[in-house]
Amino acid sequence: MEFPYDTGFHGLTWGNVVLLFVGIAFIYLAIAKKWEPYELLAIGVGIILANIPLTGLLREPDPSLGPGQAGLLGVLQHYGIFYFTILPQLIFLGLGAMTDFSPLIANPKGFILGAAAQVGIFCAFAGALALGYWGITDFGLKEASAIAIIGGADGPTTIYSTAILAPELLGITAATAYSYMAMVSFIQPPIIRALTSKEERAIYMKPQLREVSKLELIMFPIFLLIVVCLLVPRSASLIGLFAFGNLLRVSGVVERLSQTAQTVMVDLITILLMLGIGASMPADIVMKKDTLIILGLGFFAFSASTAGGVLMGKVISRFSKEPFNPVIGAAGVSAVPMAARVAHIEGQKANPRNFLLLHAMGPNVAGVVGSAVVAGVFLGMLD
């Protein structure tokens, strides 16, 4: 029997089939395992839509065909500069409105841990450049920079940097970043245990931090905005909105705007952005050797960042006058709040009296700032 029109089975390649299963796997992890569900669910659906032929959803606007012929995802892809650069900035605004800087203000050592946990970015950058130099890949400075940001475990920063520096890698770098963020609870514990003894993980830290005044909470995002943007101007697009979102929260005078930024705005942007990321992963782009290399470099970067934070935590613990548990250094990667929870759980396993979550949130938030600053450095040098 012949169909009066072509179906999605026509033109379906093995690569499309593989990516369809990848999309299903993302949806499974989001629903069954609750791994980054707000991101992986939409990315999974986007991957599926991008790999079913003839849907028309990826058809880009064409004046000769009329506006009604364009597909939703095609429109989003067509306006990619706006889509993948403006929306991550607005997500940073929402993240700022959801962030509590109190733990970081109460214990500024978190800045050191957040900075140390960016080491994976530079390790992956060097690795990607080396692979390009040896002729294994075609990665240059811009591609290496985009891949390296995965080590910061910050999805919006990865999307923003890749969209500007290496847009052809956008789908795979973003999906890799969010995938590894979802697997924090599997990746980090073995690294923490390998680098610390049980006695170090059992170090008891008082669960209560000093009380932070409202004036400190208000001045901190203003100080962050001015100092960071003066030092690294190209980080202003992310850090500036992050600080502004936090100021909405702590000022206490624009509660409605703060709630909107934390809920409706960030939720809507997340839906659009993650669908677009998934739609950027058709088989003809993803099923390449470079994809596996990026996955490997991303894992290496994330692992190195975790190790860098833990090792710096050991240094601080060695010289600190007060008890300092080096495990919280693992929270220096900006996977908020998953990395902080992992550090807390590892500390409790070694000492049930430990309650490290508040202590770990300081470096966790510092990691968000750190990855955005490094991205600004790369953008300043290369764009």
Cα 174 from Cα 146, distance rounded (Å)? 10
Based on the fold, state whether residues 228 and 328 are members of the same structural domain.
yes
Cα 279 from Cα 301, distance rounded (Å)? 25
Residue 76 in contact with residue 276, Cβ under 8 Å?
A: yes
Residue at 7 is within a domain: no
pLDDT at 109: 92
Residues of the chain above pLDDT 90, percent: 66
Based on the fold, state whether residues 115 and 204 are members of the same structural domain.
yes
pLDDT at 358 over 80: yes
Based on the fold, state whether residues 100 and 237 are members of the same structural domain.
yes
Based on the fold, state whether residues 181 and 73 are members of the same structural domain.
no
Based on the fold, state whether residues 335 and 232 are members of the same structural domain.
yes
Residue 302 in contact with residue 333, Cβ under 8 Å?
A: yes
Q: What is the pLDDT of residues 62-98, one digit of tens each?
A: 655 555 555 666 666 666 666 788 889 999 999 999 9
Q: What is the pLDDT of residues 258-278, one digit of tens each?
A: 999 999 999 999 998 888 888
Whether pTM > 0.85 for this model: the answer is yes
Q: What are the DSSP calls for 313-362, one per residue?
A: HHHHHHH-SS---GGGGGGGSS-TTHHHHHHHHHHHHH-TT---HHHHHH
Q: What does the pLDDT average to over 92-118?
A: 94
User: How many domains does the structure of the chain reveal?
Assistant: 2
Nearest Cα residue to 273 out of 25, 15, 144, 94: 94
- In degrees to the nearest 10, what's the CA dihedral of 223, 225, 226, 227? 80
Nearest Cα residue to 276 out of 91, 141, 121: 91
Residue 373 in contact with residue 235, Cβ under 8 Å?
A: yes
Q: What is the pLDDT of residues 2-50, one digit of tens each?
A: 444 455 566 788 888 999 999 999 999 999 988 889 989 999 998 998 8
pLDDT band at 282 (very low <50, low <70, confident <90, very high): confident
Q: Give the structural domain span for 36.
A: 14-78
Based on the fold, state whether residues 195 and 323 are members of the same structural domain.
yes
Based on the fold, state whether residues 127 and 201 are members of the same structural domain.
yes
C-alpha 259, offset from chain centre? 22
Based on the fold, state whether residues 89 and 42 are members of the same structural domain.
no
pLDDT at 13: 86
pLDDT at 326: 96
Based on the fold, state whether residues 362 and 317 are members of the same structural domain.
yes
Q: What is the pLDDT of residues 169-209, one digit of tens each?
A: 888 898 888 888 888 888 999 999 999 999 999 999 988 78
Residue at 9 is within a domain: no
pLDDT at 209: 81
Residue 364 in contact with residue 336, Cβ under 8 Å?
A: yes
CA-based angle 142:147:152, to the nearest 5? 120
